[in-house]
Amino acid sequence: MKIKLRDGWYDLLRSAFADFTRNKTRTFLTALGITIGVLSVVLLIALGLGLKNYINQQFESLGANLVMVMPGNAFSQSEGGGMSNMRSMGTSFMGITFDEQDYLALNRIGNIDYLTPLFYKSGVIEGNNQRKTGSIEGANEDIFNLMNVEIMVGDAFSKADVSSRAKKVVLGYSMAESLFYDPKEAYGKSIDIDNQRFKVVGVAKKKGDPDMDDAVIVPYKTTFGTLNPNKTFYSIYAGISSKDKVAEVKEQMKTVLLKKYKKDEFSVVEQTEILNTINQIFTVINAVLVAIGSISLLVGGIGIMNIMYATVTERTKEVGIRRAIGATERDIMMQFLAEAVTLSVLGGVLGLILATLIVLVIRIFFPASINLLSVIITFAISSAIGVGFGVFPARRAAKLPPIEAIRYE
Amino acid sequence: MLKLQNVYRTYHLGDEQVHAVEDISLDIKPKEYISILGTSGSGKSTLMYLIGLLEQPTSGKILVEGKDVSKLSDDELSVIRNHFVGFIFQQFNLINKFTVLENIMMPAKYAKEKLDFDPEERALELLKRFNMLNRKDFFPNKISGGQQQRVAIARALLMRPKLILADEPTGNLDSKTGEEILNLLEELNKKDGVTIILVTHDHSVASRTKKTIYIKDGKLVGKYI
C-alpha cells in the first residue's frame, strides 16, 4: 500500500505541475501574491529582530552586572514587570531625583566595586569655533569602568579631580570628531559649556552607542553650580563584579533607600531586567508588524482562491473524466487542494528566498536576522493559505455532478 | 449481471419536468454485446450514464450483480465505476497534459484496494495489442483520432472491467477508422468475454451488435435480436 500512496502523491503533484507549466504566467502571478506576502512578513520579523538585537547589543556594551537605581517603579519585577508598568514609566520621569547623600549612603555598602551618581543634561558644547549639541553627563571616575568607556588619548579624570571640582572633561569620540575633526586633536584643548571653560583631558574610543559617543563626561561635583544647580541625579549606577552577590547587594541598596523614599518612588534594577522589559515590548511590536504584513498574505490568498475557481471551471471536463474512471469526491477535492497548497508553498518559498537575500544585504548596516521561526511561519502560513483558500474551489470541483462535468465543453 | 427495474430519471427545467428516462427495465447478462439505439435527445446517453453509475435514478432500482446501487454512497459508487465499468466516449476524453501511458494507467490511481497486477505492465500490454507501443510517451493531442480512441479503450480495459460502456465511440471518426474501432470492440467481446453496451444513433453501427434496444423519448420502444 505504501507504493500506492507514493504514486498518489506523485500523480497529484504531477497533475499540479502539468497545469502550472501550461499557464506559466498565471501561475507565476498567483504565486507572486503569496511571495510578496511572505516577503513582507519575513522582512518585518527580520527587522523587528534586528532592532531588538541592536538594542540588546547596546545594553551588552555596558559593563557586566550593572545595577541601576532609578526613580519610579517602571522596571520593578515585583509589580509584575513589563507592559503593565508602561503607564508608570511616564510618571517616573517626573518623580523623585536623587542627591549626593543617597550616593554617599549607597557607597557605604560593601561588595560594590564601582558606584557613580549620574546627572544628565542636553546642551550646546563649543570648542575650536564649532558648536555641537550633545549630552552632558556628570559622574565620578567610576563611570569609565561601569560603562566600559576606554580612553583613546589622554586620561580619565581622577577621584581627586571630582573632589576638587576640577574643570576637566572627557569627550566622547563623535563629539571630539565634530568639534576638532580629528578626535585626537581635542586632547589638551579647551571647550565651553554654558560659558564655563573646561579642559579636555581625555578622548574616549568609539563605542557605537550614540549616547556615549556624543557625550561630554564631567566630574559630577563640577556640575554643581550653573549646570546642575539643584545638585540632583537622575540615577545611580553600581557595578558588582561578583555575580552571586548581585541579589544581596540589590537588597541592601533598597534597604538604604527605603529609609528616605517610599517603595514605589524608586527602583533598583539590573540591566537584564530592563532588557527583559524591552524584549517584551519588542515581542508586541513584532506581533503588530506581522499582523500588518499578514494583510498582504490575505490578499495573496484571495488571489489563489480566485485562480483556483477559474481552474476548476476550466477543468470541469477533466473532473468528469476522473470521476468516470473511479475518482471519489475526496480524490478530486485532494487533487485541487494539493494544487492550491503547492502553489502557495512555492510562492512562500520564493518569498523566503527573496527575504533572505534582502536580509543578507541589510545585515551590512543593521543586525537584521531570519530565524527558524520565520521559516516555520512561512511554511505554516503558506500551507494554511493554500488549504484555507483552496478548500472552497476544491469543494466546488468535488461536488460537480459527474455527468454534467463530463458533458462540459 | 446488471438489472434496471422501472428506472426513471427526471430533470427539472424551470417548472417543467422532463423525463429523460422513463420506466426502463433491462436485464443485461454477462458477455452480451448490446447497442442502445436512439436519436439525439432520446435519453440514450442518460440511460448509459445511469448504467455507468455516473447518474442516480429518480426512482426505480439498478442492481449490479444483485446489489442495489441506488442507496450506495459516492465512495462506494466510485469503487464500482473504477473496477466494474469502463467508459469509452465519443470525444475520447483523454487528459491532454498526461502521456498516452499515463492516461491508460490513471484508473489504477483511484483503486482503493491493492491491485493483483502491475498497472504499467498491463497498460504496455494493451498498447502492444493495439499496435500503439511506439506512441506510449505521446500526448493525446499529438496522435490521430483513431489512436486516441484506442488509448481510451485501453484505459477502459485497464482494471479488467466486466462491462464496457461506449457512447458513440465512432462518432468522431471517419468510417474506416470507425470500422477498426468496432472490430476491436467485437474482438474484446468475443475473445475477452467483456460485456459491451454501445450507445449510438447509427443503425449500421447498431447492426454490428448482437442485440439492439431502441429508445425514444426516454422510453424503451423495442428490442431487436
User: Which of A6, A314, A328 to mutate: most B Cβ within 10 Å?
Assistant: A328
C-alpha cell at A316: 470541469
What pLDDT score does A64 carry? 61
Closest by CA to B126, choosing from B194, B213, B177, B225, is: B194
pLDDT in tens, A324-382: 999 999 999 998 998 899 899 899 999 999 999 998 998 887 878 888 877 887 788 88
- Residue A169 to residue A190: CA distance in whole angstroms: 9
Which chain B residue lies closest to A317 (C-alpha atoms)?
B93
**Is pLDDT at A5 greater than 50 in this prediction?**
no
Does the beta-carbon distance from B82 to A402 stay under 8 Å? no
Across the A:B interface, residue pairs with CB atoms under 8 Å apart total 70
Which of these ranges, A3-17, A114-128, B98-112, B128-142, has the smallest mean pLDDT?
A3-17
What pLDDT score does A86 carry? 41
Mean pLDDT of A115-120: 92
Q: Where are the alpha helices (DSSP H) in B100-167?
A: 100-109, 119-129, 145-157
Q: Which residues contact B152 (CB under 8 A, 6 or more apart)?
A: B88, B89, B92, B93, B94
* Closest CB to B110 among A1, A19, A326: A326
Shortest Cα–Cα distance, A282 to chain B (Å)? 51
Looking only at the bridges linking them, the beta strands covering A215-219 and A130-139 are: parallel
H/E element holding B179?
helix B175-187
What pLDDT score does A94 carry? 53
Structurally, how many domains does chain B consist of? 1
Compute and round to an integer the Cα radius of gyration of chain B.
17
Interface list for chain B against chain A, based on CB atoms closer than 8 Å: 46, 49, 52, 54-55, 74-75, 78-79, 81-83, 87, 89, 93-95, 97-98, 102, 106-107, 109-111, 114, 155, 159
What pLDDT score does B189 carry? 94
**Residues on chain A touching B46 (C-beta within 8 angstroms):** 403
pLDDT in tens, A222-281: 999 888 888 999 899 998 877 788 888 888 999 999 998 888 888 888 877 777 888 888
**Residues on chain A touching B109 (C-beta within 8 angstroms):** 7-8, 11
What pLDDT score does A290 carry? 82
**Is pLDDT at A126 greater than 70 in this prediction?**
yes
User: Which of A2, A321, A408 to mutate: most B Cβ within 10 Å?
Assistant: A321
Under-50 pLDDT residues of chain B: none
What pLDDT score does A393 carry? 94
Helix pair angle (A271-314, A24-60), 10° resolution? 180
Q: List the end-to-end C-alpha distance of chain B, in Å, as a whole number.
A: 19
What pLDDT score does A296 carry? 86
Shortest Cα–Cα distance, A327 to chain B (Å)? 6
Distances (CA, A) of B202 to A58, A315, B9: 89, 31, 24
Does the beta-carbon distance from A325 to B55 stay under 8 Å? no
Does the beta-carbon distance from A324 to B52 stay under 8 Å? yes
C-alpha cell at A186: 581635542
Confidence of residue A62 (pLDDT cuts 50, 70, 90): low
Please check whether residue B208 is in contact with residue B10, taking contact to mean a CB–CB distance below 8 angstroms.
no
pLDDT in tens, A283-296: 888 888 888 888 88
Residue B96 sits in which domain range? 2-224
CATH number of domain containing B114? 3.40.50.300
Closest by CA to A339, choosing from A367, A373, A360, A314, is: A314
C-alpha cell at A94: 517626573
